Amino acid sequence: MSLGADRSYKMKLRDVENAFKYRRIPYPKRSVELIALLAISCTFFLFMHTNKLNSRLKEMEVKLQPSEFSALGLTSNHVSGHDAGKHDDINTLHGTYQYLKSTGQLWRLNPKFLNNTKYHTRDILFFNRVPKTGSETLIELMLRLGKRNHFQNARSPFAKPTGVYWSFEKQKEEAHRILDLMEEDAFAYAEHANYVNFRQFHLPQPIYINLVRDPVERVISWYYYKRTPWNSLQMFKITGKFENRTHYTKNFEDCVLSHDFECRYDYGLNFKDDPADHKRQSLFFCGHAPLCEPFNTPSAVARAKQNVERDFSVIGSWEDVNVTLAVLEHFIPRFFRGSTDLYYEPVKGLAFKKRNTNHWKPKISERIKRIMRANFTQEYEFYHFCKQRLYRQYFSINRHLDL
């Protein structure tokens, strides 16, 4: 090939390379729209994520002002156990109020959407009471209210075992038994028993209520209640025997530190062989399914929350006396109308009486309680869930308050 021809070939090759290098490639219109849509989607995702982080920051910045708390007209009994001194905690009454207010949720609370009582066609109330939550006080209040509001009361006898781990047939049998006790138009029944869905037996679903308490404080209370003389005497009448001396002298703190089985609270531990262990209150809301049996598991607590949201009208706590009474009165007026006045009735009122006070229970050190709380994470999750639900119900009927 000659020199001129070679030069001409290279020039043509360079021209072709330049044409590809600087050419403008037209993009289809749909591709442009797709790119724009992706850009908008990414922007929206970042906005939502930033907004969520902002809400979390507001939650962390919630502060309780004591002067504002006095406007509620409540005592400070809403702070209990490990929350004492942590007034900015979202799980306190005031902390919940400030969080709802700061996130704009307070003004959207509507009692119509927080009340399950309206879904019931018959006035049947079932208090499937959790042990050591102050249930005797509520039963006494219900007995007094029964005379005033004209409804029948009944409760299971002391000798009846706690209703846990029932089979499907046993649940059906108990549901029919409870409804057969009803003699009047309105009927309230109390028993230590796990939640039962009456609908699965084509029976009217009762209005469920219950009480909760700080999980660790409740367990300690149960431990020493079992060792009281009056409980031991009652159990002797049923079983015909007393426990050995070691049982009554066993120290709770030593029991925890030695990892004694009675004081073990390990994740996933199954207490089915001891139906009266009462180590977790979420079991009374979860039900009788095998899913509910292991201790402190997320799946059991998730089921308990689901049942609470769907079927429990009110879950109160004597740690928040006035809040509980106000919500019971407003959400279940057929049974609890006038309960606050009756509770605080001069001299005769339950506010001036102490029931089931255990003077045999010693003070437990905070060190032991901290050790226990580490194993009660899901139980505290459920406990706080119930308390915050109670607070939302209260604020929905008292939105005029400016705390």
Are 265 and 365 a contacting pair, CB within 8 Å? Answer: no
What pLDDT score was predicted for residue 325? 98
Say what percent of the chain tops pLDDT 70: 76
Q: What is the pLDDT of residue 9?
A: 57
Looking at the structure of the chain, the number of domains it has is 1
Average pLDDT over residues 90-116: 89
Average pLDDT over residues 288-314: 96
Single out the residue of 279, 318, 323 nearest to residue 72, CA to CA: 323
Lowest mean pLDDT among 135-139, 143-147, 346-350: 346-350
DSSP per-residue string spanning 216-237: HHHHHHHHHHTTSHHHHHHHHH
86 or 236: whose pLDDT is higher? 236
Residue 13 in domain: no
Give domain status of residue 51, yes or no: no
* DSSP codes, 256-309: HHTT-GGG---TT-B-TT-TT----STHHHH-SSGGG-BTT-HHHHHHHHHHHH
pLDDT over 90, % of the chain? 57
**Residue with the two structure tokens 């060792």:** 227
pLDDT, position 5: 57
CB 317 within 8 A of CB 213: yes
Q: Return the structure tokens found at 142.
A: 């219900």
Q: What is the arithmetic mean of pLDDT over 169-190? A: 94
On average, the pLDDT of the chain sits at 83
Q: Does 249 score more than 80 pLDDT?
A: yes
Closest CA to 342 of 185, 138, 132, 191: 138
Residue 64 lies in a domain: no
Measured between its terminal Cα atoms, the distance across the chain in Å is 96
**285 vs 127: CA distance, rounded Å:** 11
Exposure letters 130-149 (e unless 16+ CB within 10 A, then b): bbbbbbebbbebbebbbeeb
DSSP code for 352: G
Alpha-carbon distance 358 to 91, whole Å?
28
Determine, yes or no, domain membership for 23: no
- Say what the pLDDT of residue 230 is: 87
- The pTM is what? 0.77
Would you say residue 84 lies in a domain? Answer: no
pLDDT at 114 over 80: yes
Neighbours of 292 (CB within 10 A): 24
* Burial grade of 158 (CB within 10 A; 0-12, 13-18, 19 or more): exposed
DSSP conformation class of 363: P
Is 3 inside any structural domain?
no
Question: Would you say 269 and 279 are in contact if contact means Cβ atoms under 8 Å apart?
Answer: no
| 192 part of the active site | yes
More confidently predicted of 84 and 112: 112
Are 210 and 179 within 8 A, CB to CB? no
The answer, yes or no, to whether residue 68 has pLDDT greater than 50, is no
Question: What is the rounded CA–CA span in Å between residue 87 and residue 94?
Answer: 8
Residue 330 in domain: yes
164 near 279, Cβ under 8 Å?
no
Overall size of the chain counted in residues? 403
Element (H or E) spanning 208, and its range? Answer: strand 207-211
Residue 138 lies in a domain: yes
Choose, from 94, 120, 192, 278, the residue flagged as catalytic. Answer: 192
Is the separation of the CB atoms in 235 and 210 below 8 Å?
no
Rounded to 10°, the helix 377-396/215-225 angle is: 110
**3-7, 98-102, 147-151, 164-168: the lowest-pLDDT one:** 3-7
Partners of 190 in the beta sheet? 127, 155
State the CATH number of the domain containing residue 383. Answer: 3.40.50.300
Domain residue limits at 240: 107-396
